[in-house]
Structure 1
Amino acid sequence: MGSLFTSFTAHLLLLSCALLPQLTHSGGFYVNSIPTNFTASHFQFIDHSGVFLASQNGTFKASITNQKPEDKSFYLVVLHSPSGVFIWSANRNSPISNSGKVHLSDNGLTIVDDAGKLIWSTTPLSSPVSSLHLQESGNLVLFDHFNNSLWESFDHPTDTIVTGQRLRVNQSLISAANETDISEGDYRFKINTVINDAVMEWNGLTYWQLSMDGKANRNSNLPGTHMEITSTGLYLLGANGSSSMFVVQVKLQNSSGLRMVKLEQGGSLSIKSSMSNSWEIEFTGPVDSCRIPYICKKIGLCGSRTCSCPPGFHSDPKMDGDCTPTDSSLTLPSSSSCNASGNGTEMNNGLVSYMKLGNGKDYFANDYIKPVKVGVSLSACESLCSQNCSCLGIFHGNSSGSCYLLENYLGSIISISTTQNDRIGYIKAIGVSNSIGDGNDQKSTNFPIVGLILLPPSVVVFIFVFMGIIWLRIRKKWSRNGGKKLGHGRSSSSSTELEIILIPGLPMRFDYEELVTATDNFTTQIGTGGFGTVFKGTLPDNTEVAVKKITCIGNQGKKEFCTEIAIIGKIHHVNLVTLKGFCAQEGQRFLVYEYMNRGSLDRSLFGNGALLEWRERLEIALGTARGLAYLHSGCEHKIIHCDVKPENILLHGQSQVKISDFGLSKLLSPEESGLFTTMRGTRGYLAPEWLTSSAISDKTDVYSYGMVLLEIVRGKKNCSLQTQSHRSEDDHSHRGNNSCQVYFPLFALEMHQERRYSDLADPRLEGQVTNDEVEKLVRVALCCVHEEPMLRPTMSSVVGMLEGVLPIGEPRVLPIGEPRVDSLKFLRFYGRRFTEASTIEGHNEENELTLEPRVDIVIDSSTSGSHHSCSYISSQQISGPR
């Protein structure tokens, strides 16, 4: 009864808070929990504190406030009550006015401006919200009616984590812009999984690693999963909970045990301990403040805690104190002026020169990046920078010939001892031409017309004839080069447009600037593969698209590229991803596809999301078969996909199934197309003929489809461990109910011979699928994976089998409904290789089990998304058309 009274009292006080704020807040009384249908603003509170929640002991408060009383920008924050320090902010990049509102509803927490426009909201929630709590740890939490946590501010750190909070692998601490602006700045602190260390970055460049500090000790080499601050130190922890690296603070005694890790706006990392109403600094990194990239602004020289400009530079008040050339005829280039072809506008306005920084100077990034070239001369290093408009300077090693490029941004310069290294820096500068007069002066390069008048007529005629011959030869050579200007390498715009206009069947053409706008400067990456990177974009009509940047076409001409795109653009089928357009501009190549909102099949089939129901799996199998059948026999130009796998089968909405990356092998560069004659595809889906002299045909796609069909039935990769819970106790091959090392295609063959098809279905589908339904798909799959290509059905026959129009199998070769077991014996060899490799590897069920290499072939292992797959051919991934 007492608890009910307490709850009722809290709700009553909260209602008073909303309706009569002067009665509730003038006395400084706050609650630590509020129910839904609550609205607050800074203007609503008479004491102008903006506080509407407090933790149980008052250590933390939730408030709508600003940093200084005179500021007109307000934020929803959680602050440390004694010190007033913000530890979290919801809308740090989108402040509101004092009358902007925070609203708590069943759907979550939202912030709107004066006009009611949504500024910020919590992520979509799994169930309706019941209340909002501020815990004593400083964690702002949304609970449902069953007291389950729906959303926590601890899962969305800003620039600070406190005791009890974790910084996970996919998260970053982002500094504030400056002392008065809490919006995101340029510094980040995160876990780098590649080097298994915690790092700080400036504009994507590493400038400090936790392991470099003397207080950091590594206990193990386990991969780090998260960081947390405790009463004893800052820990980088592994997946099993043991520490991989830690920093211990012993300088101060902290009775409360409350600590925080903060990435300061200036770029340093601080570990602070709560002492009464203030925070005491226990640790700072980096120790050498000159290692902070922008400590002395652009090109500023940092040494002995003082900032100055290098010789030849001066501090420019107009540039906020950045160092600029003393010589007014020189300007510094900006990478932001680079156009689509990688050329800068400044490069056309004057000569490039390099201003030497002198000995005893270095750059923060040089210790964390590899030189672009080693063993080159200074002039060669300068040439590399001159050809790259994003390059703003270089460092060159005298003894090693190492060439470091300073790209995109320029930070401060570090003053060091001349004995520490032999790198010497040079800053790129552009000389501004003053040769253009006021319009009345003649340029010194004007042709001497007066001289011609004084010459004899015969000489004048000879000069003009001679110049005409030279001009005709230049035009002829220019024409043979495809319209390229001598000395440049860029086609004239008229010639370029003519090439495109004369090619029929091209889809919509996009300008590079249109794609930059549509993709928000290529910020949202949704995939990557052997052909390039894919970005999500939105066209002006709000149509969502997938923009693929092609990176492997070598020096292929624009005309050849457009010819192949015209062929691909003519292919239209309900089960093939539509090519909506392309961009071929200044050396850039892009393909614009329709956007498939559910991503690739592997995510739905093998991921942790919603289970794919059996009926949907049947639709996916049939849709994929129809798409391949059209490529093989339905379109004007027969196309062999060569890389059929779940990653190239895309899903949209409830039932759309479409194949992607068909026909892209036509866009291969000569170097990559050489691989096509030896091996393409992805391990686990490669047909045996890739290793023989047999011709590659559409039956190669049929084999890959059969392997995908088996994975659709099972719901797991063919080469991951198999749990044999359905096998009989007297089975002499696989006993017990534990995970066994089973190559699933071989297991499917064995179960086919025993007519035990229900043992092959995804166990998560228990009760949804019958033995006959599984039998149909397994028989089709086994027919598709015959070792001899001629025994495999065509994809058109596969469609007929799945639709029930034709009997299973090829009647002219096989008995009706029975795959040829003698042509599937090779699966036993594959299975034996898989078992041997998995025993050696000793991985768990979720890890990838690869087989020993059988051939020595140089292959591309860059294609992502094919994890958990295997092949007896190679333990590396073979990249195919994407």
Structure 2
Amino acid sequence: MAAILLVQFLLLVAIPVTRAQSPAAQNISLGSSLSTNPSGNNRSYWLSPSGFFAFGLYPLPNTQTFLVGIWLDKTPEKTLVWCANRDSAPLSTGYSIILTTSGSLILRSPQSQAQVIPLISDNLVPTSFAAIRDDGNFVLYASNGTVWQSFDSPTDTILPGQNLKTDAQLYSSFSETNHSKGKYMLNMPDLQLYYLAHGSMTNFDVRDSYWSTQLQGVRSNLTLILEPDGRLHFSDSSNSSEGELTGSDSSAVLYRATLGVDGNFRRFSYALDPNGAMTMNSNPWSWIPDSNPCQIKGRCGLNSFCKANDNSYSCMCPSGFESKDPLDMSQGCERNFSIIAECRRERGNGNLNVAEMESLEMVDNAYENLTLSQERCKQACLDDCSCALVLFINMQCKKQALPLKYMKQSSGALTQKTFVKVGSFASNPTPSRRKPIIWATIVLAACSFLLTLIIGFLCVQSRVSRYKKFRARSNSDVEDSSLRLFSYEELEDATGRFLESLGKGSFGAVFKGELPNGVNIAVKKLHGLIEDGEREFRSELTTIGKTHHKNLVQLLGYCDEGSHRLLVYQFMSNGSLANVMFNPETRPNWAQRVEISLGIARGVLYLHEECETQIIHCDIKPQNILLDNNFTPKISDFGLAKLMGEDQTRTFTDMRGTRGYVAPEWHRNLPITVKVDVYSFGIMLLEIICCRKRIEMDAPEEEIILFEWVYNCFETRNLKKLVGVEEVEMRGLQRMVMVGLWCVQEDPSVRPSMRKVVSMLDGTLDVQSPPNPSQFL
């Protein structure tokens, strides 16, 4: 008996010794849970043993929303160092994190106890317990080792012991309060910082890089390491240190290295005050010196330039431009005159001019390069409506179109000259010509005065009446909405009497326009409104006006005047996905198609589950997906289905009697749910994968109907046939194909929700092999 007790004592003593090599951890048993409504035994986070780190439901300041994350709990600002599903919308009150008794880490929705969201992807091995460790790592353990750890999926921060490997990246947050992926990236394979000018996380240009480690050659075996003593350096596969960025500092108790929202990569250090609170030391080390803030690209937005002021900077608008948001100059600038109106007028009338911008540097992105003298170069820009600015150097005239980017004020002498197009009034006439012009003006005014007296009284009452009616309607604007009310006359002027058509859709024709402040817009003239539709029109606008998501086209305003019903949207410079995708010359590459698919899915998810009022789109198709100048997909025409009559909403597709984007339940008088959008998304996803239309009558017989051909290729394991000679990542291709096939299942109950679609596309949820979509036919 004594021998048994001795063995048990030795085992208890040995356990801490074997774990001494790893940071202390707060173990979390199966069945544990966290809630945004802590009460009784419930709580909203788990602490590490030291209390330095917390894992759980992180409350976003000044909101009633949460993120699943890890943060420094002893700092006054509760600094977030990691978050899950960072591109998803924040969670509302009522969500719970549960480590189930079966060993899965899930998020439970407050709307439905049955709706669960896996937090960890590829969790094939059941978890035995979890732990939040003293190094800030949240780990899921199985009986035979680690299942998953947050250190392997960094967001914008690395902590001591969290090595950033060669195939990893850090992405800045969108803002200090929005922790979704922002516009800067630290990329390990080439050891550079990038501004993501085109919004793509996979395609980036060396011209968008603004900092490099300057190590000789790109090596595939380098790791970025932040040591516990604060040293930040690179290490190769032989564990030899090189490229040390900053030395050690033993005065701090904790360090973190973060890619900030401003694009700078900094190492922060923390000390404990006498009360045990953690305070950040001043003057953090940074990769970009504070003395050169304009080195970071993209700081000042499009069409603006960065001006360094000692250790700070300011964003300025060049001549002819004004700030989009005076309270936030980083949002960029826009023209302060209407280029459409000016270009319609006769050239040489003095309404346009060019101004020289001294000491201005920018990336040369010329769309036309001419050999001209300086004066002819300036005139060439004036005569070209697409020209916003020219760079003139050594008789080379380089025309630049909007948007202008990466402009900054140079501190040294430049060999080039920069001329920007500006709007101006005609210059004052010379003294010798002034008198004739004055007399001509007086005579014309006298003649006009008599005519004005006769017709003035007749029209003034009409105008006053119209104005009062318009003001009354303006005062009763769409309730709880920031939408602007336009008059029909304003939109006529903006579009040049609806001169330039962008196309026709299910709900009406769309025209390009430009507001007086230079902002391009798309104006949709609605047709087929239901009878007595004014109240329904305003009701739907209330819903649409409250939607805000980066994958939805922004509704700017509307017109509700007489029989005119018009919607004013932001203009999408790259047109529709259909125009781009089905044209071999403009077809997006595979990486772009993956990003586009995921963006569309997130937008539909927002409409279904995350906006204030659920919206069923009813017309998801490539023609209703628009692309901005960064190729970010934007869903259009959402929320309009309720404004149309029943007959029209049931005939969105132009392929009567054959399979198109319309779900089968439309033709069977079954209840219409969000699953009709899932079906339409699935058809479109297969089109995005293959870059071909859903039906191709000229294709071989077995390939005419797209989803049937895709399933045959999937079943015969010949997916490469779908993309031809194009180089694609095969695992990603298989994942997207399976998601698409699940979405186009005949039975609506079999189709996944859009939340599951997003989780499957971004890899956080495994995709099972789908059945044949035609099995119920």
Q: Which has the larger radius of gyration?
A: 1
TM-score bucket of the superposed structures, by smaller chain = 0.3 to 0.5
Give the structure-2-normalised TM-score.
0.48
TM-score if structure 1 supplies the norm length? 0.43
